Structure 1
């Protein structure tokens, strides 16, 4: 076969693929755990859809919303692998996840699309189940914003930051669909470049022992913010930090009233870099009085982390401001108090969903190459 010496053969899960080394088709063996986890999550999602379909069909007089959900659950799952490279992820979905209707394996490299087609043949798959596609990922997602074209799941696994893809992604998923996002720019998210983090995600990170959890909460806040612009909101299913990347799995739902509540799930964070203690300052307070609902900014109050001391130079300050004070840590007395955020402060896992994943994992544990990481 012409050029065969430039190809490397790889087997992962149920899939086998060729990697074109000369064309630099991207394959990262370290992220096999990422792909294993995603496959199990989609299997769980598929099972839940089947259970919902049975429950909904037993309803005597379903509402229009329930009718739409029944219609969607009767359909097979449509998945977008937005940055597919070799097509490995899409092929694993097709071979390992039940009830798949269509997977679009997209890449903005003509050579990558050729490699995807070659790998489909290698796995005995046709283009009716996996459609190789050469397109800009953002343009492709924008084309699928209409209700009848939306995906049940979108996988974003870019090299670096996913921030430029989020706005189009949250518009092109059905209600109850899953957005899966990887970010490898953990240095930015963990405080090395706060200005870059703010430009990409709209939040200021801080250097802290829990910086990887803060990174996850920054990404969740960013996804939710994009969704809120369209009357949608997120329900985090699973959020992890592992190796050199972070990965978030969220369900996308629609509902203007609940979307408004998203701001109550945000807070800024105060952190002492000396003793690592921290405290949260929520942004908005929601008050409900009968049918009257109001959202108001939260008053800045003394909290468990910060006390104030009289400045030693207060008498020398301009205009002799006698009340000038400096913040100090309540626990160690340090003045090294840093401010970051906003971050997402609601739960970052869905315990019921995760338990269903664990139950499925229990019966398939020995089949996973990366089981040591689970």
Structure 2
């Protein structure tokens, strides 16, 4: 094992993702952990209780405890890395004096507690579906649930049978599969929440190639979840969320995708809280990290609240024309470097682009 430091934490972990390594540390996830600290700092009350079902090295939980300063109780759990977590807690004990810490080595599917938690984190290797019941049994009303998935082959359309088996959804490979994967994950988590009489509202997502993470707020109000299907034409790039048998652009057959979450991928109220918190507490992060966080939040907040994005490459391929530079489009998306959103129908989009190309 090697000694690392990140944020205000020092810790031991493996530097390579080996099968035998239960405490692999991925430095490429630092931004994700920065974002996690900001979510907790902004949306969790003081003297809260937190639970991490998959602690690994403990770096995420340690950073949340030390840098957010929101928890007076925090439970670390990992069946594979119990000893390492305890070792890393000891390394950082001077900064954890105000936190009552517990370390468990329980199977996450069987985790039980007499206490409820204000914040619960599910960050497994693979799908989080198998651990949602354990978490939701223990989540307080008004609490925050963080859910990660690394089985992106299933969610993004490479392993469609696996997606149907785990998530109960059809997810083909498309130019906007990054968004489909997020929407299908959100749908599944919300369904589990409803089984526990908990209304979960998506707050924010983070997508990093083979990793999806979504934050939810357990909202006490009763809101009908926006779950449904999308319809995709394979003869042209047209896709809609209204039920169509034939494409209203080219007449091709429309293929049903989902079910999935069709509502907003972020919550404006909570994102504004996070932006306000970041402005007041920039000292929690380096200047570089603060700037990256602010840019990300503003980019997400500015995205059009519409289903799907198009890419410049798919449009140019369809039109058989040179690819338009993405800089020409106003409504970009954080989900693709070539992606843009529009409120126009596909027919109107193509008509607009055709007219601009002929100018």
**TM-score, L = length of structure 2:** 0.73
How far off its partner does 1:245 sit?
1.3
Can you list the C-alpha shifts for 1:209-250, whole angstroms capped at 9, x where unaligned? 221112111111111111111222111111232232111100
SS in 1 for 2:251: coil
Can you list the C-alpha shifts for 1:57-89, whole angstroms capped at 9, x where unaligned? xxxxxxxxxxxxxxxxxxx21111110011111
Distance 1:33 1:266 in 2: 30
Aligned pair 1:249/2:218, yes or no?
Answer: no
1:266 to 204, 227, 238: 227
How far off its partner does 1:184 sit?
1.2
Please say if residues 41 and 70 of structure 2, whose CA atoms lie closer than 8 Å, have aligned partners that are also in contact: no
Q: Residues 27 and 254 of structure 1: is their aligned pair in 2 closer, same or farther, counting only changes over 3 Å?
A: same
Unpaired segments of 5 or more residues in structure 2?
297-359
Can you list the C-alpha shifts for 1:106-161, whole angstroms capped at 9, x where unaligned? 0011xx11111111121125696322211111222xx23x5xx1110111111111
Unpaired segments of 5 or more residues in structure 1?
1-6, 51-75, 282-302, 307-326
The aligned counterpart of 1:136 is 107
1:367 to 286, 305, 308: 286
1:343 to 248, 253, 260: 260
Q: How many residue pairs end up in the alignment? A: 285
Please say if residues 94 and 129 of structure 1, whose CA atoms lie closer than 8 Å, have aligned partners that are also in contact: no
Aligned pair 1:18/2:16, yes or no?
Answer: no
The aligned counterpart of 1:124 is 93
Aligned Cα RMSD in Å?
A: 2.2
The aligned counterpart of 1:330 is 248
SS in 1 for 2:173: coil
Distance 2:14 2:250 in 1: 56
1:231 to 193, 197, 218: 197
Distance 1:167 1:214 in 2: 23
Matches within 5 A, 1:66-77: 76-77=47-48
Can you list the C-alpha shifts for 1:16-42, whole angstroms capped at 9, x where unaligned? 111256962221111111111000000
The aligned counterpart of 1:84 is 55
Distance 1:247 1:94 in 2: 19
Matches within 5 A, 1:1-374: 7-20=1-14, 24=21, 25-46=23-44, 49=45, 76-109=47-80, 112-125=81-94, 129-140=100-111, 143-144=112-113, 149-254=115-220, 258=222, 261-262=224-225, 265-281=226-242, 306=244, 327-335=245-253, 337-363=254-280, 364=282, 367=286, 370=289, 371-372=291-292, 374=296
SS in 1 for 2:165: helix
Runs of 4+ in 1 over 6 A off after TM superposition: none
Structure number with the higher strand fraction is 1
SS in 1 for 2:236: coil
Please say if residues 83 and 106 of structure 1, whose CA atoms lie closer than 8 Å, have aligned partners that are also in contact: yes
Distance 1:116 1:172 in 2: 22
